[in-house]
Every structure is written in C-alpha cells, then in structure tokens.
Amino acid sequence: MNKKSCLNCGHSISDEFCPHCGQKSDTARITPRSLIKGDILGSIWHVEARFFRTLKHVLFGPGRMAMDYISGKRIKYYNLFSLLLILFGFNVLALHFYLDLNPDEIPEDSSTIIDFFSKYSKTILFVLIPILALNAWFIFKRIKLNLAEHVIIASVSLSGILALLLLDDVISIIGIYDPLSKIINILDKILVYSLLLFPAFTYFNAFKNSYSKSGLLWRLLVFYILLGIEICAIVLLLFKILN
C-alpha cells in the first residue's frame, strides 16, 4: 500500500485516517463538487443521521442505549446533552405555537404560571436529571453504577419524555381542527400514559437482565413513590415562589 503524507500534520499515512491527528487520508484540494458533496451535504447528513438514529434508540431501547453509552459505545450516538437541549427547544417552540393558535386554552389566572415556566424551564429540566439519577442510584445498587453513570440513564429517559412531549404538542396542534379532534384526543391520552411510564420502561430496559421481574417491579414502584413525593415537593415550592 502506497504511503503519503497527511496534509494536516505531515505524518506518513497508509490507512483511511492519519494515526497521529485523525484527519482522513483522502483529504484533497477543495473543489466546487467536494465543497457541496463533502463539506456541506456530508456534514448535514452525518449530523442528521446520528441525531435521528439516537432518537430512535431513545424511544425504542432507551435503557439498552444508555448502558451501551456507559460501556463506551458512544461514537454512533448524538451527544446526549445536546439532544436534550434541542428537544427542549423544539418543545418550547411547539408549545408557544399551540398557544398562539389556540389562546382559549390559557386561563387568565394561569398566565403567571406559564410565564414562570417559560423563564425557568431549563432550570426545572436539569433539576429532574439529578433527582432521577439519585433515586436510581439508591434503588438499583446491585448494578454498581456510579452517580455520573446514573445521570446518563436519567438523561436518556428525559430525552424520551421530551420527544414524546414534542409529539404530543404536534398532535395537539393538529387536533385544533375539529374533524380530527376525537382521534387526537385518543392519541393524546395514549401519549400521556406513555410519558408517565417512560422512566419505568427505561430502567426496565436497562436492568431487566440484572433483576428478577418481581425484584425489578417493586424497585420501580419505590422509584415512582419517591419521584412522586419529590415532584409534589417541587410543585409546592414553586407554588410558594409564585404566590
């Protein structure tokens, strides 16, 4: 195999990538064709493909994906925290779009609450991650994951919740039009139950081979009891702040 010099660092290379700096060995002079195909379309396709592939794993195999990510299989997945922020941003846009199209859905006495959540929603979002992680770290001790690794699982679970919320927002926007309202109401109820059960699905998917079904079910029950108490405490705290 013919060796050539890396255009980036000058080291000799004979493979697809330079072993010193990682640049591709076929890097050449920029032409109109390479600019469009490689730099523009290639980068967009690479980012979008990873994003949607990660989203698919988040929705249909969240626990398995989280455990793969923790074990070091990360290159095929989109950055989890970037994914969270993107999904969060789309949720905010979709909610505002829905409320603009359907302002009757906003009670007059709820405007202050909506304003508060619009302002502090990022903070609220990231408070949920350590809460989920701490609960799981306490309940699933047999797995011997550290707290940071439980943060990864919590982030995957929250990404799935945000993806389902976004889908629910889109469905609600479609449901504004009366001919589809009955079907949309059914889909909306299905999505609400899916949102509530998604953390259980995530942890079941992650730990189903480490516990018996009964052992996993009672742990998930304790997990939800703790989560319910904590969410109630947060709501009461927010209620005091708002009043």
Best-predicted range by mean pLDDT (10-14, 23-27, 57-61, 75-79): 57-61
The model carries a pTM of 0.76
How much is the pLDDT for 40?
47
For residue range 204-222, what is the model confidence (pLDDT) as tens digits?
Answer: 999 999 999 999 999 999 9
HEC letters along the chain: CCCEECCCCCCEECCCECCCCCCECCCCCCCHHHHHHHHHHHHHHHHHHHHHHHHHHHHHCHHHHHHHHHHCCCCCCCCHHHHHHHHHHHHHHHHHHHHHHCHHHCCHHHHHHHHHHHHHHHHHHHHHHHHHHHHHHHHCHHHCCCHHHHHHHHHHHHHHHHHHHHHHHHHHHHCCCHHHHHHHHHHHHHHHHHHHHHHHHHHHHHHCCCCCHHHHHHHHHHHHHHHHHHHHHHHHHHHHHHC
Q: Which residue has the higher pLDDT, 76 or 152?
A: 152
